[in-house]
Amino acid sequence: MEIVKNLVKMNFFRDSLQLMQLSEEVKKIDGVLDAALVMGTDTNKEILERLNLLTSEGKAATSNDLILAIKVRDESLLSRIIPVVEDMLMRPVTSLQPTIDKTYYTVESALDDVPNINLAVISIPGQHVKEVALKLLEKGIHIHIFSDHVPIEDEVELKKYASERGLLVLGPGAGTSIINGKAIAFANKVRRGPIGIVAAAGTGLQEVSVLLDRVGLGISQGLGVGGNDVKESVGGIMTIDCIKYLEQDEETKAIMVVSKPPDTPVLKKIIKFIEEETKKPFTLCFLGTKKYVPPKKLAKRIHSCRSLHAAVLDMVKFINPEKYKDAKTSLSPKLSELKKSCKMLSKNLKPGQKYLRALYTGGTLMYESLLIYRELIGKDVYSNAPLDPRYKLEDPYKSYMHTVVDLGEEEFTAGRAHPMIDPTIRKIRLIEEARDPEVAVITLDFVLGYGANPDPVGAMQDAIIEAKRIAEKDSREIVMMAHVCGTEADPQNSSIQEEKLKNLGVIVFPTNALMVFASALVVKRCKISDEKLRKAYKEFLDV
Amino acid sequence: MSEKVKKLFREELKVANIGLEIFYRSLKDQAVEVVQISWQPPPSLERRLKEKLEKLL
């Protein structure tokens, strides 16, 4: 008889990616029906519960403990399987990755052995970052900090220290940078070119660099400064430094600044710097802020846009006006055509199918969607990270009416790999949404590039098929839409990923903003006033 | 511009990756020279001793 067993290893640490890999290995053992090896965070226990893999032993684990959750065909197999899994766990960490040439265990030993290191990428628990980062900065090494939860006073100290010495501290919480054409952390393979990007928004940088690539333009440098940099406590130290460096960089001909809303004093400081200390063309995309209107004499040089999609079109106009028409055609279909297609898509929906469910892995893409939905659907779009706190989901694991969820937020990722790598959490959610007879449209983002899942669409495929089957069994049809944020040069190849989606009956859009626009039209059966539509189209899909 | 940033933008990247090995592999895949520094949390006893020492000194 099938049985679920939890073994708890107290005070035992493995990082989430190593555990994800081990889980996959354990699932392949003969007799194992399902398995998950996770640190005992609340998030992980919640997910084990939803996978029917949690027992009372696992429930009692703490975030310092490792839970080995396993479902086997028959109890008698446990005595054979558990020692095998324990052996796997006890292997030295490095043997999980035989491709590593040599592993160092201290920063000092690596720097002694390997001269001329010019960049360090740090992804260790936040409370330990400062100690490691300072050692590197003292040696004149630039750093990109992927880690979250770095105490804000540590961030300020590191950034001040670096700024005084002409060094970069990208992050903490920087998901993406592109330096000298190389992807750092989660980033895409995009062509090199004249556009420099400073971003306090990880997937924002990914989306604009990918879309610029799509319309034939390239970037010089893409510098992710981390979301906190534009908060008052940090004061935009690195945003301004990076703008200054790109202004002085000969390869950079125009600069784009992408961010979620900065604190007002920081926004003012950044704008003042751009107005007074720079001469290059700028496209500013401070999502969710009142549109900045530059002084008349600067209106030709400094532009401001309200979506990532619009910012890209604006930059094309700046850099290569003859490409603008083609770029517009490839990214923004005419409103009348869009309406016509959406009407077609909504024709099989039943009257009771009223709601939209957007399941995001990219935080900035989710935020951009909320801005557009607010204009087209209204304020009452619920989320785990809403624009208006009144519309915060009571339970982030449960959708309510129109719901847009960021599955990369803390409540879903504590002690787990990000959903751009590990699809488990989104697969569970997609199936739950499909069971809801009031759901009309489901949207999904697929973020490609280095660091991401090697086949993100493939990893979701079973769940997409199952979701469609559930709806069909109930004589419903759910409109499924997707946006692939990636390029053909990415390891996952955007064309292959898009083709897979189309074969699954999912409608694919070239930009997130366009997908959001279309999903709003479908869920509303195109019953949105022409005035509202035209205004939103002009703001988010046009320049 | 800061000489150090100017140099970074002109040189080939040479990276120390501290933490997640996935980023090491990504850089290798892009033919970037990279070394892996494996990181483990300091043992709690060592941490407590260090804190006590810091207080004493």
Distances (CA, A) of A230 to A201, A239, A269: 10, 7, 10
First CA to last CA across chain A, in angstroms? 63
The answer to whether A105 faces chain B, any CB pair under 8 Å, is: yes
Percent of chain A with pLDDT strictly greater than 70: 99
Model confidence at A293: pLDDT above 80? yes
Most trustworthy range by pLDDT among A255-259, B35-39, B46-50: A255-259
Which uninterrupted H or E stretch holds A194? strand A192-200
Q: Where are the alpha helices (DSSP H) in A41-146?
A: 42-50, 56-59, 78-90, 107-113, 129-138
Mean pLDDT calculated for residue range A239-258? 98
Q: pTM to 2 decimals?
A: 0.90
Look at residue A13 in the predicted model and tell me its pLDDT. Answer: 83
8 A C-beta contact, residue A540 and residue A306: yes
As a three-state string, the secondary structure of A430-477 is HHHHHHCCCEEEEEEEEECCECCCCCHHHHHHHHHHHHHHHHHHCCCC
* Helix, strand, or coil (residue A141): coil
Dihedrals φ, ψ of A66, to 5°? -100, 135
Within 8 A of A166 by CB-CB distance, chain B residues are: 2-5
The whole-number pLDDT of residue A97 equals 52
Strand B33-37, strand A302-304: pairing: unpaired
Residues of A whose CB is below 8 A from B37? 103-107, 110
CATH architecture of structural domain A174-330? 3-Layer(aba) Sandwich (3.40)
The residues in A 419-438 lying below 8 A from B, measured between CB atoms, are 421
- Decide if A182 and B13 are in contact by the 8 Å CB cutoff: yes
More confident residue, B9 or A418: B9
% residues pLDDT > 90 (chain B): 56
Nearest-CA distance from B44 to chain A in Å? 10
With beta carbons under 8 A apart, name residues in chain A contacting B21: 17-18, 96-97, 100
Q: Which of A63, A95, A111, A182 to mutate to test the interface with B (most CBs of B within 10 A)?
A: A182
Q: What's the mean pLDDT when you consider all of chain A?
A: 94
A127 interfaces chain B, CB cutoff of 8 Å? no
Main-chain dihedrals φ then ψ at residue A289, nearest 5 degrees: -110, 165
pLDDT of residue B44: 61
The tens digit of pLDDT for each residue in A486-524 reads: 999 999 999 999 999 999 999 999 999 999 999 999 999
Tokens 């990918």: give the residue: A210
Question: Is the model's pLDDT at A415 over the cut of 80?
Answer: no
Closest partner residue to B18 among A107, A180, A189, by Cβ?
Answer: A107
> At the top level of CATH, which class does the domain A3-96 belong to?
alpha beta
Domain range summary for chain A, segments of one domain joined by +: 3-96, 174-330, 335-540
Give pLDDT tens digits for A45-58.
998 998 899 999 99
How much is the pLDDT for A541?
A: 96
Residue from A172, A178, A232, A180 nearest A200 by CA:
A172
Q: What is the mean pLDDT of residues A297-314?
A: 97
Q: Examine the pLDDT at B55 and tell me if it is beyond 90.
A: no
Torsion of CA A369, A372, A377, A382, to 10 degrees: 40
Q: Domain spans of chain B?
A: 3-56
Q: Does A184 touch chain B (CB under 8 A)?
A: yes
Q: Compare all CA atoms of chain A with the CA of B34 and give the residue at the minimum distance.
A: A117
A433 pLDDT more than 80: yes
A321 burial type by CB count under 10 A (0-12 exposed, 13-18 middle, 19+ buried): exposed
A94 vs A267: which has the higher pLDDT: A267
Please indicate if any CB of chain A lies within 8 Å of the CB of B41.
yes
Residue A116 sits at the chain B interface (C-beta within 8 Å): yes
Closest residue on chain A to B33 (Cα): A117
CA distance A223 to A234: 17
User: pLDDT by residue (tens digit) across A129-155?
Assistant: 999 999 999 999 999 999 988 999 999
- Interface contact B19-A121, CB threshold 8 A: yes
Q: How are the residues of chain B apportioned to helix, strand and coil, as percentages rounded to the nearest 5? A: 55, 20, 30
CB A450 within 8 A of CB A491: yes
Instruction: Give yes or no for A489 touching B (CB within 8 A).
Output: no
Q: Of the ranges A32-41, A43-52, A315-324, A400-409, which is most confident?
A: A400-409
Residue A181 has which token pair? 């054409």
Among A210, A230, A233, A229, CA closest to A168: A229
Residue B50, chain A, CB below 8 Å: the answer is no
E-strand stretches of A40-188 = 66-72, 103-104, 119-123, 142-145, 169-170, 176-179, 182-185
Domain A335-540 has CATH 3.40.50.300: no
> Which of B10, B22, B25 is most worth mutating to test chain A (most A CB atoms within 10 A of its CB)?
B22
How far is Cα A86 from Cα A449, in angstroms, rounded to an integer?
A: 33
In this structure, of A72-76, A283-287, A312-316, A435-439, the range with the lowest mean pLDDT score is: A72-76
- Residue of chain A minimizing CA distance to B14: A117
Q: Percent of chain A having pLDDT more than 90?
A: 86
Residues of A in contact with B5 (CB under 8 A): 142, 166-168, 245
Give the number of beta-carbon pairs within 8 Å between A and B. 147
- Residue B38 has its nearest CB partner, among A105, A136, A165, at A105
